[in-house]
Amino acid sequence: MKRLRPLTQATPFFPFKISNLAVYSAFFLCALNLVGCATKEPVADPLVGQEPAPTPQYEDLRNEIARLEKIIVEKDELIKNQKIRQQSQAHVLREANKEATRTQVKLHRLATKPSTASAIAEVEAALEHLKQTKTSSFDQILRIQAQRLLETATLFYSKDQYVAAMNHVSQANNFIALIVDQNRKRVTQVDYSLLEFHMPMRLRTIKNVFLRKEPNQYAQVLTTLKKDTLLTASANQGPWLRVQTDKNQGWVLNTMLEIEENRNP
């Protein structure tokens, strides 16, 4: 039978005890860390739930947007007021045309022999006065047209056609009014009435001049007419003459032309 060792006898357990102590120590340290993590208060993220402070660039951009919005409002108001003025001017123009039509009708109703004779005499006196007045080349063109209209009116009067005679007298008065109207000598954007010439006139350019598509200084240039170019004028609109060349038809400023037969040899 094997004998038992006494309990007091030393046994080689020292390495085992050291290993258990290391395990217990590691376990204890982990437990302390877990307790610390559980009791530690969470740190709030300073960027969550907070708006960033506005920068100077952001303020400048917002001020610029506000300024542009104000300008847009002002421009819209300006456009609105301009449309109102244009509508008002169009209304005045329509009323003026209506009044001119009523006057023409009234003139035809009054086209009796005495009234027609009186109107012809007034045009004759006005043209006689213009002959004694120094006028420009363009005014001479208008005076010649008025003279031709007067001659035609006199012919209708001799045939007892008083309405036709009065119509030509009215056209002659329009040309006379253009001669004495100083405002129409300026090149402006005013809407002048188109006056067809009773008879075309031969003219000559006094210098190189643009032939334009419309009676407007900003209209398209069709070609350049050289000095001494012969052409025919068939109508007038304000300071512009509608002319015909060998190849083109367009508009030329009246200050660039003279009557061809009045040119000195």
Evaluate if residue 141 carries a pLDDT over 50.
yes
User: Is 112 within a domain?
Assistant: no
Q: How far is CA 51 from CA 47, 48, 56, 63, 217, in A?
A: 8, 9, 15, 20, 61
| DSSP-derived secondary structure letter, 260 | G
Q: Classify residue 241 as left (phi > 0), alpha (psi -120 to 50) or beta.
A: beta
Is 167 contained in some domain? no
- Closest to 142 in 3D by CA, of 203, 231, 230, 207: 203
Question: Per the domain annotation, does 242 fall within a domain?
Answer: yes
Whether 210 shows a pLDDT value over 80: the answer reads yes
Asked whether residue 237 is domain-assigned, the answer is: yes
Cα(228)–Cα(14) distance, integer angstroms: 135
Residue 170 lies in a domain: no
Phi, psi at 250, each rounded to 5°: -170, -160
Give the pLDDT confidence of 21-55 residue by residue, as tens digits.
Answer: 555 566 666 665 655 554 445 555 554 555 566 67
More confident residue, 193 or 251: 251
207 within some domain? yes
- Measured in degrees and rounded to the nearest 5, phi and psi for residue 29 equal -65, -40
Amino acid at 19: S
Check residues 22 and 229 and name the one with the higher pLDDT: 229
Stated pTM of the model? 0.45
Domain holding 245, by residue range, is 195-265
The pLDDT, as a whole number, for residue 8 is: 47
Which region holds residue 12: left if phi is over 0, alpha if psi is between -120 and 50, else beta? beta
CATH of residue 227's domain is 2.30.30.40
Q: How many domains does the chain have?
A: 1
- pLDDT of residue 224 exceeding 60: yes
In a domain, 256, yes or no: yes
Q: Which residues contact 144 (CB under 8 A, 6 or more apart)?
A: 201, 259
Whether 176 has a pLDDT exceeding 80, the answer reads yes
Identify whether 228 is part of a domain.
yes
